[in-house]
Amino acid sequence: MVDKGAVVRVVVYSTVILYLVVDLFLVGGPLRTSFARKSPSSPHVIEAAKEAGVAARIHYQPILLSQVDRRVDENLWRAGRSLAGLSREERILLRRAALNELIDLHLLRLKVRFSQSEAAVDDAEIEGELARFTRRFATERDYLASLKELGWSEKELRFRIAARIQQEKYLLQMIEIEVSEDEAREWFASNRARLAYPDRVRARHIFRSTVGMNEQETSAVEVRLHAILGDLAKGSDFGMLARTHSEDLRSRDDNGELGWLQWERVPEDLREGLFAARLNKPVLLQSEIGWHLVEVLEKKAGRERSFEEARVEVLAALETVKRRDGLRAYRRQLRERDHKYIEIFFDVLERGLQMQ
């Protein structure tokens, strides 16, 4: 006896399968159209992504215009610049450069994600890099103000530092760097003048920040340092005064010692006054970030160095050049390998700049 239910099921299943085959593969019916509209590569999905501010996609993962603008702000901040006064064309170029950086970093993160055990980062490395970062600021107040300007918390800063260290460690593992003796001597001969010892001074200072202060407050800081200058003239100990009054966290606990300073590494608004100062005669100098009570302890005139004197620096410089070139080549390889998965929406990248 024939099972009528089974026959019905076979007929129904066959009808459904036939419909799916016809819809999806032969005539492009409603189902195929619906699936196509939901595909990441469909014009509908792309337009929706662009409307949401997606400036680029890598393996369909988005990079938002807001991320690009944040990167632009970071790059300008590191260079001591801002968007003020920049033309539309300049802003477009800055966005494109920032987007290229973000694409490279995204591709690199994809590689590092699958190799985390090869590029582990410990707390000591993060703390060391964080300490180097904070030394860029004269006071903790300046440091916190800069974080606030970028919209970062200290936790986010640590996360970013850890990610960058991990990426750098992974890259270094991918790049072989070797410098021969002949290469080093040839590079030294071509850069002998640049490697010469410049004029240098050894100095110490007592620093007071005036960042964010009005004219009256700035004048009060000057008066305070003039009083300290008077104390020095009466025989007070410079180191004790530095430990008590200086806001420079890097030198305060070391009696205000700045070490040996070269002209090029001194802020422009302090160079003339610092190098013109007489030995052991404290002077008061003003920079854009505050007042400096400076004393020059020693001076050394510039001279050329021998290869042996400059050997360590030459090897380090060549390694840096080779590392830089190797990193560029590796990132270029990543970009070339995944270029077909990279989509850039230039109309989104120029959004909001028409009226600048």
pLDDT mean over 6-20: 61
Average pLDDT on 161-179 reads 77
pLDDT recorded at residue 6: 62
- More confident: 202 or 128: 202
Contact between residue 273 and residue 284 where contact means Cβ atoms under 8 Å apart:
no
Pick the CATH number of 200-300 from 3.90.1170.50, 3.10.50.40, 3.30.428.10, 3.30.470.10: 3.10.50.40
Distances, alpha carbon 297 to alpha carbons 2, 230, 260, 278, 294, in Å: 110, 19, 10, 9, 10
Strands laid side by side in the 200-209 sheet? 257-262, 200-209, 290-300, 283-287
Q: Which of 315, 285, 293 is nearest to 239 (CA)?
A: 293
Phi, psi of 252 (to 5 degrees): -55, -50
Q: What is the pLDDT of residue 130?
A: 85
Mean pLDDT of 38-58: 83
Q: What is the DSSP letter of 198?
A: P
> Three-class SS of residue 178?
coil
**pLDDT at site 19:** 53
Tokens of 299: 């001076």
Q: Which helix (H) or strand (E) holds 55?
A: strand 54-58
Where does the chain hold its CATH 3.10.50.40 domain(s)? 200-300
- The answer to whether 280 and 299 are in contact (CB under 8 A) is no
pLDDT tens readout for residues 202-259: 999 999 999 999 999 999 999 999 999 999 999 999 999 999 999 998 899 999 999 9
Give residue 206's pLDDT.
Answer: 96
Q: Is the pLDDT of residue 80 over 90?
A: no
What local confidence, expressed as pLDDT, does residue 17 receive?
66
Mean pLDDT throughout 12-32? Answer: 57
Report the alpha-carbon distance of residue 99 to residue 238 in Å, rounded: 50
Q: Using 50, 70 and 90 to split pLDDT, how confident is the model at 110?
A: confident
Length of the chain: 356
Q: For residues 225 and 245, give the distance between their C-alpha atoms in angstroms, rounded to a whole number.
A: 9
Average pLDDT, the chain: 83
Question: 92 - beta bridge partners?
Answer: none
- pLDDT computed for residue 356 by the predictor: 44
The reported pLDDT for the residue numbered 282 is 96
Give pLDDT, residue 30.
Answer: 58
Q: What is the pLDDT of residue 55?
A: 92
The residue among 15 and 16 whose pLDDT is bigger is 15
Q: What is the pLDDT of residue 174?
A: 72
